[in-house]
Amino acid sequence: MFESSLFLAFIGLVFLLAGFVKGVIGLGLPTVAVGLLGLVMIPAQAAALLVVPSLVTNLWQLIAGPGLVRLMRRLWPMMAGICFGTWAGTGMLGGANAAHATTALGLALVAYAVLGLASFRLNVPARTEGWLSPLVGAVTGWITAATGVFVIPAVPYLQALDLEKDELIQALGLSFTVSTIALALGLMYGGLLSQDMAGVSLLALLPAMAGMFLGQWLRGRVSPQAFRRWFFLGLLALGIHLAVKALL
């Protein structure tokens, strides 16, 4: 599968772009990477390639924040739910489910893009976090297991917690890190994370980091709002294409 230099170059360009998007707006690496790789491979393979770049970049985002211990105490039920949902859905990405996984991936990208374009914001009262956090985590984990993308409903939920800007970025890093680890363990258990996949995933870290540095450099030179709009429009088109392609 990875013998073609053109194919490897495509993977490198995908992770360069995905890292660039994350550098500009603080998220989007797994969504862009899995979405674009889904054009040429099944979501299980795309998710396997995502493991190392996603883990390293999100650990970086997680550690750089101001209050990790406090966030972990507050969000641990959500993180436990993510692990439970991901492992409960292990196997949905591969084998006979590949076509359904591609459709689910397309629909997940469409949903995320629509929410982003609509600037949809929830408001979560503190009294509901006790039962809502593990539920949101479990649903996020199940969608992760089905699509390889771990933004719905985790990102809208975290945005609704009235966190400070730096806290929100760190909370997203925590959620994405736990999702990546849970997904990697699920893929390993299902035999979908081979040694070859792990090696290519490690190589993909280089363009992902280069793209992230470039995006961070550009962040202060472009309008984040305009960039987000074009990002979600592109994501919407990609999601529609994947969903329709899988159904035809």
At 97 the pLDDT is 61
Sign of the dihedral through C-alpha 91, 94, 95, 100: positive
Average pLDDT rounded to a whole number, residues 86-91: 87
- Answer whether 182's CB lies under 8 Å from 82's CB: yes
Domain ranges of the chain: 5-247
Confidence of residue 12 (pLDDT cuts 50, 70, 90): very high
pLDDT digits (tens, 9 = 90+) for 47-82: 999 999 999 988 887 887 678 889 999 999 999 999
pLDDT digits (tens, 9 = 90+) for 161-207: 988 877 888 898 899 999 999 999 999 888 878 888 889 999 999 99
Res 1 pLDDT > 70: no
Mean pLDDT for the chain overall: 86
Q: Nearest CA to 157 among 145, 181, 180, 175?
A: 175
At 232 the pLDDT is 86
- Answer whether 78's CB lies under 8 Å from 133's CB: yes
**Cis preceding-peptide flag for 153 (omega within 30 of 0):** yes
* Helix intervals (H) in 89-223: 98-117, 129-147, 154-159, 165-189, 195-219
